[in-house]
Amino acid sequence: MPKITYISHAGERAVVEVPVGWSVMEGAIQNDVAGIVAECGGGCACATCHVFVDPLWTDKVGERSAMEQDMLECTATDSTEVSRLSCQIKVTEDLDGLIVELPESQT
């Protein structure tokens, strides 16, 4: 199973194994990673699963959809060029080692 590293705004790391096919958000929720709220449950409708993808991984996670881009305009913490909604990043074997940082606030 791919390992994903979630880094809190305070710098705390949580490394969890996430099954292929799950989203990065599901991996966080199912492993009690603090900092991912996911109010909409992964429907790309709330922007409370905002993460910053480590720049070395941006090509591997793929591009944002138009819907995701629109939702990133609603984040509690300003989005950047490496911002993604973790519900929109599907875990593949190629994402083993992925690093995402969590914003200071989701709401």
pLDDT digits (tens, 9 = 90+) for 53-89: 999 999 999 999 999 999 999 999 999 999 999 999 9
Report pTM.
0.96
51 DSSP β-pair partners: 84
Question: Going by C-beta distance under 8 Å and a sequence separation of 6 or more, which residues neighbour residue 57?
Answer: 95, 98, 99
CA distance 24 to 18: 8
Architecture field, domain 3-101: Roll (3.10)
